[in-house]
Homo-oligomer: A and B are copies of this chain.
Amino acid sequence: MAEERVQRRLAAILATDVVGYSRLMERDEAGTLAALRERHNSILAPLVAQHDGRIVKFLGDGVLAEFGSAVNAVQCGIDLQARMAALNAPLPETQHIVWRIGINLGEVVVEGDDLFGDGVNVAARLQALVEPGGICISGKVRDEVDRKIGAAFDDMGEQVLKNMASPVRLYRLRSGPSASGAATRSRP
């Protein structure tokens, strides 16, 4: 029996990736990296902090962020996609940078600043399953945020994720005016 006690905590994990990252890099490597850095500094980092989250690490074209609250994580995802869409709107389509976002929650293992476990792995797989600009959340997240934020979710059914023993119930955040950032400011 090891003496060391494993550090664990309940956390909501938000993972992003960039749609067509390889294609963007092929076309203009320096320009893409500069644009990603600019989005990170002006949108991602401030919004994660504003929702009481922290950026755990960078994963190639994506990031992993941790939140103590599932509502905060989902609201951050909604605000991120709204800000990215607003930034893309006036640009020619070839300069658009579009994210997919996945959000899961679970009991994660903490090692220093890093996080491990299924809670993290599932989040990192979810974003691949949603349309560009979309947000995919697990059923566990949906159970905690339902009726607590001004957004609707479409059932994507149970899906088998790579290296996961059991299928995971997934929901797609429905975009539209109800997904505005204002909703969580009101009392429950």
A residues at B contact (CB < 8 Å) = 1-6, 8-12, 68-72, 105-107, 109, 117, 140, 143-145, 148, 182, 184-188
Contacts and interface: CB of A to CB of B under 8 A. Distances in A.
A93 to B, nearest CB: 35
Contacts of A182: 1
Contacts of A107: 69-71, 144-145, 148
B185 A3 contact: yes
9 contacts: A2-B186, A6-B187, A6-B188, A8-B148, A10-B11, A70-B107, A106-B144, A107-B144, A107-B145
A6 B182 CA distance: 12
A68 B9 contact: yes
B4 A109 contact: no
Nearest to A5: B185
Contacts of A12: 10
Contacts of A186: 1-2
